[in-house]
Amino acid sequence: MVLFLEIICCLQGCEASVLLDKANSEKTAPINVNLHGFEAIDAAKAAVEKACPGVVSCADILQYAARDAVVLTGGQSWDVFAGRRDGTESNAAEPATELPLQTMTVSQLLSVFALKNLNAAHMVALSGSHSIGVAHCSFVTDRLYPNADSSIPADLLASMKASCPTAAATTQLNLDEQTPNTFDSKYFDNIINNRGLLASDQVLLDDSLTASEVQANNGANFGTKFAQAMVVMARYQVLIDNAGEIRTNCRNTL
């Protein structure tokens, strides 16, 4: 379920368009093929519909699910502001132009986040989501083959190559080598020690502004900074009043 953290508000806003099972929807875009956990959202929606039909949107359920995934893995909680409505459009072409890529420079990443009204501090704190979860080898093999990224420490390089033995490997690696199942600030400690997994994690140290945010998140302040950034992201292009709809099934428009 955790991958929802990354994309819940990325495209047209926090309006659950990523859940729609339409022809040519966002879900069908190549960059989204590894998204998973949709059945957990279906189960939550079914339970909420049973108790209180037609009131809680899929967009709000995604926000609660993201918060609860963080709390269940040891992260800090936050209040989710509800009242969003669901979008009815979903376009497969959008993810390619609006989602951040692991190959981007800091300035490219900042531009993508700025489109969602998120600044450098928000971007770095939100990247702390990579404190849990995994990446498929295809997102790191360009750091390994044919020539290894010389900034990767030798022992980490050996373990990355063991997990991804060839450039075509389809296996996965933990995003946080220290505490892969706990939502904590070790992700930032990894970066400070040149042990970030994705190029887009490690690149945060290249720019003085993002580097100082990496330092600021490495420790007890991470929980609060992440929670605050999630609240800001969750406000992006929210549908209210008569806009959109409250879906009965998160996969289909009414």
Binding residues for substrate: 100
Tell me the per-residue interface mask from 113 to 152 with ligand HEM, x by CB under 6 A, - otherwise.
-------------xx-xx-xxxxx--x-------------
**By C-alpha distance, which of 177, 180, 217 is closest to 197?**
177
In the complex, what is the shortest distance from the CB of residue 240 to ligand HEM, in angstroms, rounded to a whole number?
A: 23
Please state, in angstroms and as integers, the Cα–Cα distance from residue 25 to each residue in 11, 19, 48, 94, 140, following that order. 12, 9, 25, 9, 27
**Could you say whether residue 74 binds ligand HEM (CB under 6 A)?**
no
* HSE (side-chain half, CA atoms, 13 Å) at 50: 6
**Could you say whether residue 101 binds ligand HEM (CB under 6 A)?**
yes
In the complex, what is the shortest distance from the CB of residue 30 to ligand HEM, in angstroms, rounded to a whole number?
A: 11
Q: Show binding-site residues for heme b.
A: 130
**By C-alpha distance, which of 28, 25, 24, 32 is closest to 7?**
32
Length of the chain measured in residues:
254
Residues 13-42 interacting with ligand HEM (rule: CB under 6 A): 34
Instruction: Using CB positions, name the residue nearest to ligand HEM.
Output: 133
CB of 197 closer than 8 Å to CB of 153: no
Q: Report the amino acid identity of residue 245.
A: E
Tell me the per-residue interface mask from 76 to 95 with ligand HEM, x by CB under 6 A, - otherwise.
--------------------
Q: Report the amino acid identity of residue 171.
A: T
**Could you say whether residue 48 binds ligand HEM (CB under 6 A)?**
no
Encoding tokens for residue 133? 């979860």
CB of 186 closer than 8 Å to CB of 178: yes
Q: Which is nearer to ligand HEM, 48 or 216 (CB)?
A: 216
Determine how many CB atoms are found less than 10 A away from the CB of residue 176: 27
Site residue total, ligand HEM (CB under 6 A):
22
Stretch that binds ligand HEM, among 13-21, 99-107, 211-219, 239-247 (CB under 6 A): 99-107
> In sequence order, what are the residues at sequence separation of 6 or more whose Cβ sits closer than 8 angstroms to the Cβ of residue 239?
13, 15, 59, 84, 85, 86, 87
Tell me the per-residue interface mask from 172 to 211 with ligand HEM, x by CB under 6 A, - otherwise.
---x----------------------x-x-----------
Alpha carbons 145 and 142: distance in angstroms, whole number: 6
**Could you say whether residue 5 binds ligand HEM (CB under 6 A)?**
yes
Q: Show binding-site residues.
A: 13, 17, 26, 100, 130, 176, 179, 184
Query: Applying CB under 6 A, which residues contact ligand HEM?
Result: 2-3, 5-6, 34, 100-102, 109, 126-127, 129-130, 132-136, 139, 175, 198, 200
